[in-house]
Structure 1
Amino acid sequence: MKSLGSIRRSFAPWNDPDAKPYIVFENVTKRFGDFTAVNNLSLKIYEREFFALLGASGCGKSTLLRMLAGFDEPTAGRILLDGQDLRGIPPYRRPVNMMFQSYALFPHMTVEANIAFGLKQEGMAKADIEKRVAEMLKLVKLERFAKRKPHQLSGGQRQRVALARSVAKRPKVLLLDEPLGALDKKLREETQFELMDQQQELGLTFVVVTHDQEEAMTMADRIAIMDKGEVMQVATPAEVYEAPSSRFVAGFVGNVNMIEGTVSGRENGVARISDGNGLTIKAENIGDAAAGSAVAFAIRPEKIKVSSRKPDDPGVNVVEGEIYDIAYLGDMTVYHVKLADGQVVKASALNASRITDDPLTWNDRAFISFRPDAGVVLTR
């Protein structure tokens, strides 16, 4: 079986035409005065999904989360949760809970008191609170720290306390607004996997807002790429990366080379794309690109090979150029190759061994090569 990228788990209700979405944004618009933060947006999220809203600052992702939480109301459209219209329902009556980047822990309370706070507010019996708090401490592996105050914990431990407090009330949906932004890089990477594991163990629906592409790609089952209050693409991490729907998505997620040109012909699912400056390549994955249409061939750097010798394979695209820049990053080497038409193509090579048989350096003549199916043709 072939798949577009690795599959983390078989969970994929969005591919089932009979599956009922759990959260529905239906033609939602949100305006603040003359500014439109969310523009006629429709989106479906499924139960037990780990869903990420990804985009630059000001794209509307946090506004979307706040409307789901009940802190803001849509100007137009509606939001449904498990079939119920949420309009007019205050935040404290919605079966959702929100975990903020700051964690908002009470500094004067112990870990267990922080976790118990919301349960006490709801009037839960003392014995039930103690049992639930013990369950939450075990879930986040903080039993030994129950009597400590937040200032006595590391950033990652505080994050886990905030998570335990957020899920202690057993909401149907947990909303996470930049939940790992306060952590350092190494701890953030470790905590991403912890959150994934805990989400699956809890069986809750997680909706996370982030501007960190790697974070969204690591944790989410699906990602909604947002720009200027609109959703540009909703897909799995592998689909967003390997099959972006537009130039914007291709450029926003990861590194990419865009070879702009015109379809000079197509035959048997293969197009010839010419840039008008002497460069012509063969490309598959051409969609509905018609002959004569302006397109971009988007290809990731790791799909391009660089060598000092011209490849013999007649089935690949081969272009000669000059090494313009090199970056050695330890696990990989990144080459910038300037082509005859002045375009600079980025290629990356995995450093699988300590010694290279084909060393290249600045100003060397080199050949880049890539398969016709290594990229995707974009029409918008």
Structure 2
Amino acid sequence: MKSLGSIRRAFAPWNDPGAKPYIHFDKVTKKFGDFTAVNDLSLAVYEREFFALLGASGCGKSTLLRMLAGFEEPTSGRIMLDGQDLAGIPPYRRPVNMMFQSYALFPHMSVEKNIAFGLKQEGMPKAEIDKRVAEMLKLVKLEPFAKRKPHQLSGGQRQRVALARSVAKRPKVLLLDEPLGALDKKLREETQFELMDLQQELGLTFVVVTHDQEEAMTMADRIAIMDKGQVMQVATPAEVYEAPASRFVANFVGNVNMFEGKVAERSGSSVRITGGTGAQIMVENAGEAAKDADVAFAIRPEKIRVSSKRPADAVNALQGEVYDIAYLGDMTVYHVRLDDGQMVRAATMNATRVVDDPLTWDDKAWISFRPDAGVVLTQ
């Protein structure tokens, strides 16, 4: 069985025609005066899914989250949760909890009292509160810090307190708005995996808003790419990266090289694309691209090989000159200016300590790639 990228888990209810969405945004629009933040958007999230809303600032992702939490009401459309229409239900009566980027911990309360706060508000008996708080402290590995105040904790520890407080009430859905934005890079990477493990352990549905592509790719089962209040593509991280639906998605997620051209010939599922300067690119699995259609061929830098000579077995090879080199330790990134002037980015893993075919600035070079290495885009 072949797959686009690695499969983190077999969980994939969105592929089951009989599966019912747990959260359903049905033609939702949200306007603030003349500004449309969310525009006629429909979206389905499934129970126990770790779902990410990814997009640039102002794309509508946080507005969508706030409408689900009940802090904003849709201008039109419906939001359903577990079969219930959420219209008119105030935030405190919704079976969701929201964790903010600021964490919003009470500075005068200890860790355990912060976690217990929401449970006390609900009138839970003290014995049950103590038991639940102990469970949460163990879950987030903060048992030794139970008596400390927030200012006595590190950023990562405060983040875990906020998380424990959010899940202590056992909501059906946990909403996370840029949850790791305040952490440094290394701690953020560690916490991403902690969040994934925690979500699996609790069996909750997580919806996270982020503008960090790597964060969404790491944690989410599926990602919705948003732009100007609309969803541009919903797919697994591997599908978004390897099979983007449009030029926008290809450019937004990761680094990509884009070759604009026209389909000169089609044979079965394969096409020959001719660029403006006559460069020929052979592509397998070209989707619905018809003959004479204007298309873009998108290919990721790591799929491109750079060499001083044209590889004898290369189906696709283009000549150019090394314009820039960046040595990053685990990989080397080459910027190659092709003879037609286009700049191409290629990334080579440094799998060995010795380079057999060293290249430097201004060297003549060939870039080459397999016919199944990229994707043809018609949008």
Question: TM-score scaled by structure 2?
Answer: 0.99
Contact 1:278–1:341 (Cα < 8 Å) also in 2: no
* Aligned: 1:121 with 2:115: no
Aligned amino acid, residue 318 of structure 1: A
Contact 2:136–2:168 (Cα < 8 Å) also in 1: yes
Equivalent positions of 1:229-378 (< 5 A) are: 229-314=229-314, 316-378=315-377
SS at match of 1:157: helix
Identical counterparts, % of pairs: 82
Q: Which residue of 1 aligns with 2:112?
A: 112
SS at match of 1:28: strand
Equivalent positions of 1:1-380 (< 5 A) are: 1-314=1-314, 316-380=315-379
Q: Distance in 1 between matches of 2:268 and 2:305?
A: 25
Q: Distance in 2 between matches of 1:269 and 1:48?
A: 37
Contact 1:263–1:292 (Cα < 8 Å) also in 2: yes
Q: Distance in 1 between matches of 2:328 and 2:278?
A: 33
Q: Distance in 2 between matches of 1:256 and 1:379?
A: 16
After TM superposition, give the deviation of residue 75 of structure 1 in Å: 0.2
After TM superposition, give the deviation of residue 285 of structure 1 in Å: 2.6
Q: Distance in 2 between matches of 1:123 and 1:285?
A: 60
SS at match of 2:106: coil
Contact 2:53–2:225 (Cα < 8 Å) also in 1: yes
After TM superposition, give the deviation of residue 129 of structure 1 in Å: 0.3
Contact 1:49–1:206 (Cα < 8 Å) also in 2: yes
Q: Distance in 2 between matches of 1:151 and 1:361?
A: 51
Q: Distance in 1 between matches of 2:355 and 2:226?
A: 41
Q: Distance in 1 between matches of 2:40 and 2:251?
A: 24
Contact 1:326–1:362 (Cα < 8 Å) also in 2: yes
Structure 1: gaps of 5 or more residues: none
Question: 1:198-219 deviations in whole A, cap 9, x for unaligned?
Answer: 0000000000000000000000
Question: 1:105-144 deviations in whole A, cap 9, x for unaligned?
Answer: 0000000000000000000000000000000000000000
Aligned amino acid, residue 112 of structure 2: E
Name whichever of 68-77 and 264-273 sits farther off: 264-273
Aligned amino acid, residue 317 of structure 2: V
After TM superposition, give the deviation of residue 276 of structure 1 in Å: 2.0
Aligned amino acid, residue 99 of structure 2: M
Question: 1:83-110 deviations in whole A, cap 9, x for unaligned?
Answer: 0000000000000000000000000000
Aligned amino acid, residue 334 of structure 2: Y
After TM superposition, give the deviation of residue 269 of structure 1 in Å: 1.6
After TM superposition, give the deviation of residue 268 of structure 1 in Å: 2.6
Contact 1:325–1:362 (Cα < 8 Å) also in 2: yes
Aligned amino acid, residue 323 of structure 1: V
Question: 1:151-177 deviations in whole A, cap 9, x for unaligned?
Answer: 010100000000000000000000000
After TM superposition, give the deviation of residue 284 of structure 1 in Å: 1.7
Question: 1:297-320 deviations in whole A, cap 9, x for unaligned?
Answer: 000000000011211115x20111
Q: Distance in 2 between matches of 1:79 and 1:284?
A: 41
Contact 1:285–1:375 (Cα < 8 Å) also in 2: no
Q: Distance in 1 between matches of 2:358 and 2:106?
A: 57
Q: Distance in 1 between matches of 2:141 and 2:185?
A: 21
After TM superposition, give the deviation of residue 187 of structure 1 in Å: 0.4
SS at match of 1:323: strand
Question: 1:254-285 deviations in whole A, cap 9, x for unaligned?
Answer: 00000000111111321111112121110123
Structure 2: gaps of 5 or more residues: none
Contact 2:271–2:286 (Cα < 8 Å) also in 1: yes
Question: 1:224-282 deviations in whole A, cap 9, x for unaligned?
Answer: 00000000000000000000000000000000000000111111321111112121110
Aligned amino acid, residue 253 of structure 1: V
Aligned amino acid, residue 67 of structure 2: M
Contact 1:58–1:228 (Cα < 8 Å) also in 2: yes
Q: Distance in 2 between matches of 1:75 and 1:269?
A: 44
How many residue pairs get matched?
A: 379
Q: Distance in 2 between matches of 1:344 and 1:300?
A: 13
Aligned-residue Cα RMSD (Å) equals: 0.6
Contact 2:260–2:276 (Cα < 8 Å) also in 1: no
Contact 1:326–1:333 (Cα < 8 Å) also in 2: yes
